[in-house]
């Protein structure tokens, strides 16, 4: 029997991109789909556009603004699919993405996850000329989800990001992971998929098909949020990931991975959010491991940091608009 895939799309003020996003789903080579769009109180034409696609396979729901996680949870509550595909309203899928991953999962145990590559592209540019991000050695088959998560978070050095749409997960794994955390406004996806990975039996990777992640040069995306609320959300997300991971292993590499996440947040929050930085550094000390600094992104930043320490170096870099 052909499995049903539920594609869950939270939407808030995405009228510029929503039609193309939906068309990328409707163009899937795997056509046994239900598409659920949850408009999260948009003030633009998003809801009108979504409703123009409504059909027997495209459901459109609306709610007062509660955040993307609440919208995803509502979609998840009504989803009937055997598998779950998350997709933000400004991102895209290649036409063979879902079918390629289903092929993997149908030949492996129920609780496996499927993972594919992601193409990063700038808004208002052609997605096909974007940069293919394979994730290096993280994007590989693994029957050890705890070990895989340690490596992803940076237990052996630099960590990596996985685009939420790059996953395809079974309903059983989604049930085991639980709902999205509606208290988080930043890195809610990182916290959620840490639970998904740990609820799984492992990862199966395919180089066939991809997701497309839209980036913004003006820094308009939520992930670029610099408000106090966003900074504390990111810090809370790390604390939750630490709880999940360290409840499964006391490996020093797991502690280093969490320490690396805290250090990255400490640097990103400084100097605008000193309490976030102080809290992150305190958590590192409590872990009792060394935390490596994130790379600066420029040789000037690296040199300044070596000579002056990272705090003063970042202040100077910000003052002179250098990349840090």
Q: Which two tokens stand for residue 56?
A: 């027997």
Q: Which two tokens stand for residue 33?
A: 């789909």
Q: Which two tokens stand for residue 240?
A: 């939750």
Residue 197 lies in a domain: yes
pLDDT at residue 311 tops 50:
yes
> Is residue 56 helix, strand or coil?
coil
Q: State the Cα–Cα distance between residues 201 and 110, nearest whole angstrom.
A: 8
Place of tokens 């049930």: 175
pLDDT tens sequence across 54-113:
999 999 999 999 999 999 999 999 999 999 999 999 999 999 999 999 999 988 878 999
Same domain, 210 and 251: no
pLDDT tens sequence across 31-61:
999 999 999 999 999 999 999 999 999 999 9
pLDDT tens sequence across 239-288:
999 999 999 999 999 999 999 999 999 999 999 999 999 999 999 999 99
Same domain, 118 and 156: yes
Residue 221 lies in a domain: no
Residue 220 lies in a domain: no
**Residue whose C-alpha is closest to residue 123's, from 215, 203, 48:** 215
253 to 148, 283, 289: CA distances (angstroms): 12, 16, 9
Domain-ending residue, one of 215, 235, 257: 215
Query: Considering the chain, what percentage of its residues have pLDDT values greater than 90?
Result: 76
For the chain, what is the domain count? 3
Same domain, 136 and 233: no
Same domain, 202 and 252: no
**Residue whose C-alpha is closest to residue 322's, from 295, 303, 300:** 300
In this structure, what are the phi and psi dihedrals at residue 140, rounded to the nearest 5 degrees? -160, 160
User: Domain range spanning residue 260?
Assistant: 226-292
In this structure, what are the phi and psi dihedrals at residue 82, rounded to the nearest 5 degrees? -80, -25
- Asked whether 72 and 8 are in contact (CB, 8 A), the reply is yes
């Amino acid at each position: 029997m052909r499995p049903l895939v539920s594609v869950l799309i939270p939407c808030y003020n995405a009228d510029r991109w929503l039609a193309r996003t939906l068309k990328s789903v409707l163009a899937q080579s795997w056509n046994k789909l239900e598409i659920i769009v949850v408009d999260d109180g948009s003030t633009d034409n998003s809801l009108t556009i979504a409703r123009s696609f409504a059909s027997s396979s495209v459901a459109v729901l609306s709610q007062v603004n509660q955040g993307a996680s609440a919208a995803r949870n509502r979609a998840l509550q009504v989803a009937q699919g055997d598998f779950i595909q998350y997709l933000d309203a400004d991102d895209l899928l290649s036409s063979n993405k879902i079918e390629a991953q289903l092929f993997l999962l149908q030949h492996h145990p129920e609780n496996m996850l499927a993972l594919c590559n992601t193409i990063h592209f700038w808004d208002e540019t052609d997605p096909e000329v974007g940069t293919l991000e394979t994730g290096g050695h993280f994007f590989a088959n693994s029957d050890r989800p705890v070990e895989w998560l340690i490596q992803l978070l940076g237990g052996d050095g630099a960590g990596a990001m996985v685009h939420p749409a790059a996953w395809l997960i079974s309903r059983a794994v989604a049930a085991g992971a639980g709902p999205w955390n509606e208290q988080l406004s930043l890195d809610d996806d990182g916290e959620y998929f840490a639970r998904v990975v740990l609820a799984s039996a492992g990862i199966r990777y395919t180089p066939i098909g991809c997701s497309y992640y839209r980036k913004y040069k003006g820094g308009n995306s939520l992930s670029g949020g610099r408000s106090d609320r966003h900074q504390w959300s990111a810090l809370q997300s790390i604390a939750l990931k630490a709880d999940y991971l360290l409840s499964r292993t006391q490996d020093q590499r797991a502690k280093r991975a969490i320490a690396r996440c805290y250090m990255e947040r400490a640097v990103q929050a400084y100097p605008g959010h000193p309490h976030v930085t102080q809290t992150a550094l305190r958590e590192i000390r409590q872990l009792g491991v060394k935390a490596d600094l994130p790379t600066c992104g420029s040789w000037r930043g690296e040199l300044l940091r070596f000579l002056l320490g990272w705090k003063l170096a970042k202040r100077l870099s910000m003052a002179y608009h250098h990349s840090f």
